[in-house]
């Protein structure tokens, strides 16, 4: 039976200088269904693939609104995500109440990363088993951040997390240079194409299994969005128009989708 001597306690380094509990937490993120984030000069967007446990079950919520100007997509343990999104909401409210200022996105992400880092260092705790993509806008424009349970947070032009997210990443790496000047419709189309790469062979994106989160001015397919372009989550019928803009895979440049690394299942490196 596989047994690892150095993984029973997150504060103990292995002889290779690794913290196994933290690495397991990163694996938990890879178990969750994929989420993709992209940023242009005017917008940040999230796209996520929702799962349902069966024909009779509803689809699990993948996106959460933190404040008018910030939203997240999650991959990993939903219960941990609810704890952390609650925390982020409190931080956002606190900034609004104390300074009458929407919390700057980078500060919120750093705060939640600091909180997660403590759990990788103290005895008797476990790391959070969830990763976020965070989008938001503040005085310095739209932003996209990744948060991971190791306590890292980075800003990105485009990023993907979750199961088979490497395939989406490959797509994003190929096209990211065009994202900055994209309009919202093209940006979402790129996002949908990237998200499609994470699907299993016989699956397709549809209005039930796809969520779109947007920060920035309204799209031509949206109604009743205030001019400030607050964070909103589009689901169901509202994303039909966006799904319609996708270009079928066959007609596309065939280069994409290299060796899907099959990280659907947990595979510890080493």
- Give the residues lining the site for another protein (CB under 8 A): 87, 90-91, 94, 97-101, 104, 106-107, 111, 114-115, 118-119, 122-124, 138-140
Cβ-based nearer residue to another protein, 104 or 217: 104
- Least Å distance between CB 31 and another protein? 24
Cβ-based nearer residue to another protein, 98 or 259: 98
Contact 150, 120 (CB under 8 A): yes
Return d(Cα 117, Cα 128) in angstroms, integer. 9
- Tell me whether strands 35-39 and 44-49 are parallel, antiparallel or unpaired: antiparallel
Could you tell me which residues come within 8 angstroms of residue 1 by beta carbon, excluding any fewer than 6 positions away? none
- Least Å distance between CB 107 and another protein? 7
- Least Å distance between CB 74 and another protein? 19
Return d(Cα 270, Cα 252) in angstroms, integer. 36
Contact 20, 6 (CB under 8 A): yes
Q: How many CB atoms lie within 10 A of CB 238?
A: 15
- Least Å distance between CB 114 and another protein? 5
- Least Å distance between CB 195 and another protein? 30
Cβ-based nearer residue to another protein, 49 or 72: 72
Cβ-based nearer residue to another protein, 12 or 268: 12
Contact 134, 43 (CB under 8 A): no
């Amino acid at each position: 039976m596989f047994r690892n001597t150095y993984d029973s306690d997150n504060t103990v380094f292995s002889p290779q200088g690794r913290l196994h509990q933290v690495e397991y937490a990163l694996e938990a993120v890879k178990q969750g269904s994929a989420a993709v984030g992209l940023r242009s000069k005017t917008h940040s967007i999230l796209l996520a693939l929702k799962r349902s446990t069966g024909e009779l079950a509803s689809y699990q919520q993948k996106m959460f609104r933190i404040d008018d100007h910030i939203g997240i997509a999650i991959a990993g343990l939903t219960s941990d995500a609810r704890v952390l999104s609650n925390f982020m909401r409190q931080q956002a409210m606190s900034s609004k109440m104390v300074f009458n200022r929407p919390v700057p996105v980078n500060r919120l992400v750093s705060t939640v990363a600091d909180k997660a880092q403590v759990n990788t260092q103290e005895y008797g705790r476990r790391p959070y088993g969830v990763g976020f993509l965070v989008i938001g806008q503040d005085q310095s424009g739209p932003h996209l951040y990744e948060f991971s349970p190791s306590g890292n947070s980075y800003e990105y032009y485009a990023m993907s997390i979750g199961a088979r997210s490497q395939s989406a990443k490959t797509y994003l790496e190929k096209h990211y240079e065009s994202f900055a000047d994209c309009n919202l419709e093209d940006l979402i189309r790129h996002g949908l194409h990237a998200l499609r790469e994470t699907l299993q062979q016989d699956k397709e994106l549809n209005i039930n299994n796809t969520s779109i989160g947007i920060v920035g001015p309204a799209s031509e397919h949206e109604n009743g969005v205030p001019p400030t372009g607050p964070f909103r989550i589009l689901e169901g019928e509202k994303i039909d128009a966006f799904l319609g803009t996708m270009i079928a895979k066959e007609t596309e440049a065939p280069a994409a989708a290299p060796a899907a690394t099959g990280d659907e299942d947990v595979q510890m490196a080493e």
